[in-house]
Structure 1
Amino acid sequence: MNFYTIKDLETLSGIKAHTIRIWEKRYGLLEPERTTTNIRYYSDDELRKLLNVSMLVKHGYKISKVSVFDSEQIQQEVLKLNEKSLSSQGVIDQLIVCMVNFDHRSFEDLLEQQIEKLGFEETFMTAVFPLFEKIGLYWQIGSIFPAQEHFVSNITRHLLVRASAAYANHDASASVLFFLKEGELHELSLLFYQFLALKAGYKTIYLGQNVPFEDLTKLDGLQEIDRVFTAFINGIEAAELEEYIQKMSVVFKRKKVFVTGAQIALLKPKLPSNFKVVADVRAFKKYFGSLGD
């Protein structure tokens, strides 16, 4: 069992700590325990309840009404919301509830519903990536634990791999190498860009995360590579980033190389003439136009 402070509950639910205390006192919504130093802490069950209640309140329910619901009634009302057209924030809130509950079926079903309604790309842009931005914040402040992040990452990774397989074309006229450098472990955005490249008609060579640089040097002559795509996400010193880019420019001196990620935006390294910065999905689509066009 995990334990959460009232600050954790505020961050995860979007409900101010002051309001949570009022709901406790006036409506008996939660029953926190106290440490030996008299600090409130909350259980997994109380976090789940607050997440569900906060979702209902955000969608117009009165707290005075919701507070008298038992757990089954709260869940039923949340399911009713799921049947309606939720805002992007409402979808993200529900995905967080599924994450906390380790509810694989509901998490995947909700994403599938959004994909059917909005399309694959739009669902990832409006729900999945904003969700991971929140998860990143929660991870920094210690409000979630690794198993929750891995749970969500594995589901979304599976969706991306499955969607990409539908566009695989081993006979395409141009190819793109996708990889992340050694130490880079967050590959969901890389998988998403691979999906876009496959959809545009490219053949892809996907090496994934944590690739030693020596492995890149061995590719020459083994595979025909037209373009290279990588991302720099983890913190890195400016000098180390520029050194790595220069090493890449030697290995891929006759290729078009595309780079993206938070460290590129933050550090703005000097780039060789054959390198391009991909700021966002729109820029990627501009540089990787459909081979059928």
Structure 2
Amino acid sequence: MGIKTQFSIKDLEHLSGIKAHTIRIWEKRYNLLRPERTDTNIRSYSLENLMKLLNVTYLYNQGVKISKIAKLNNAEIESHIKEMGLQDTPEVYAVSEFKSSMLHFDPQLFHSTFNRLEKQYSFREIFFHVFIPLLNDIGLLWQTGTIDPSHERFISEHLKQKLIVEIEKASSKQPSKTENLFVLFLPLNEIHEIGLLYVNYELLSNGHKTIYLGNNIPTENLSHLMNHHDKMVFVSYLTVQPEKENLSNFITHLNKTISENNDNKVWLFGSQIINYDLEIPSNIKTFSSLSQFINEL
């Protein structure tokens, strides 16, 4: 699959939050965008059209009238955005910049935006106030087909890189809480690693010992750790796997695998577990959110 460079008016609506009907009015009344048209007269927008609309939307959401924006050239629009970005909440501006870095595949913009945030906020604040809203937006764009896999992968890999740097910093400190060893893993076919990486970061930052196994780990392989450690807490983040119909079997198998030692426990996170309504063994704890986890940590 090639990288997406042409966008439909629905794509523009999903990315900008401006209704397709309004975009058409802006086109007709202000000549704001210049789409190409297919043989069947369907609008097709270039990346340049899309970026202009996102810039226009940013100013429009800041209260600038569309009639005034329409009179500005691209350089003037960008100048106004920079001025307003300084006045706006840095989190909102950062999410917009990260999306722009994704659409342009621009790592420098990603890093410069992060570096600016890092001067003002703790990593936890950046994660909760910028990364989570960004990931929620990216998820919606992915589900609607507005962005393709390369866009999603670009953002997720850059977020993982930042997490790994913070994990390295936290790992350099001597653990102060050694009662339990935390073993972090994702089950088979689960590749969404950002949530689990963040849990690892918080555990290390709070002085706990962890072993990070990463993604795609068969449950039975966890038994190998029994020969080396006791009093373990197995931590997993179930975003899309196991699927709902297989979740009960996964929990049963996981509990059986780790229960050779009665001191072992399981902590489960993620959207798959949140709505799970069957009985869960007493040594398995579920978290409805990362905020709940931090509050209880």
**TM-score normalised by the chain length of structure 1:** 0.91
After superposition, the C-alpha distances for 1:129-149 in whole angstroms (9 at most, x for unaligned) are 111111111111110011111
Match of 2:116 among 113, 116, 126: 113
Structure 1 residues 41 and 80: CA distance shift in structure 2, 3 A: same
Structure 1 residue 239 displacement after superposition: 4.2
1:46-65, aligned counterparts within 5 Å? 46-65=49-68
1:72-221, aligned counterparts within 5 Å? 72-86=75-89, 88-168=91-171, 169=173, 172=176, 173=178, 174-221=180-227
Residue 251 of structure 2 is aligned to residue 245 of structure 1: yes
Structure 1 residues 158 and 238: CA distance shift in structure 2, 3 A: closer
Q: Secondary structure at the match of 2:266?
A: strand
Q: Distance in 2 between matches of 1:65 and 1:52?
A: 13
Structure 1 residues 286 and 87: CA distance shift in structure 2, 3 A: closer
* Larger displacement relative to structure 2 (187-196 or 98-107): 98-107
After superposition, the C-alpha distances for 1:138-187 in whole angstroms (9 at most, x for unaligned) are 11111001111111111111111111111114655232111100110111
Contact 2:189 2:241 (C-alpha < 8 Å) held by counterparts: no
**TM-score normalised by the chain length of structure 2:** 0.90
Structure 1 residue 287 displacement after superposition: 4.0
Unaligned runs of 5+ in 1: 289-293
Q: Distance in 2 between matches of 1:195 and 1:221?
A: 26
Identity %: 35
Structure 1 residue 278 displacement after superposition: 1.2
Amino acid at match of 1:272: P
After superposition, the C-alpha distances for 1:102-127 in whole angstroms (9 at most, x for unaligned) are 22222222233233323211211111
After superposition, the C-alpha distances for 1:8-46 in whole angstroms (9 at most, x for unaligned) are 101100111121111111111111111111111111111
Q: Distance in 2 between matches of 1:270 and 1:170?
A: 38
Structure 1 residue 210 displacement after superposition: 1.3
Match of 2:265 among 256, 261, 277: 256
Contact 1:242 1:270 (C-alpha < 8 Å) held by counterparts: no
Residue 275 of structure 2 is aligned to residue 281 of structure 1: no
Q: Secondary structure at the match of 1:250?
A: helix
For residue 291 of structure 1, what is the aligned residue in structure 2? none
Q: Secondary structure at the match of 1:218?
A: helix
Amino acid at match of 1:258: W
Structure 1 residue 84 displacement after superposition: 2.8
Match of 2:20 among 9, 17, 30: 17
Unaligned runs of 5+ in 2: none
Instruction: Give the count of matched residue pairs.
Output: 288
Structure 1 residue 69 displacement after superposition: 2.6
Q: Distance in 2 between matches of 1:239 and 1:270?
A: 15
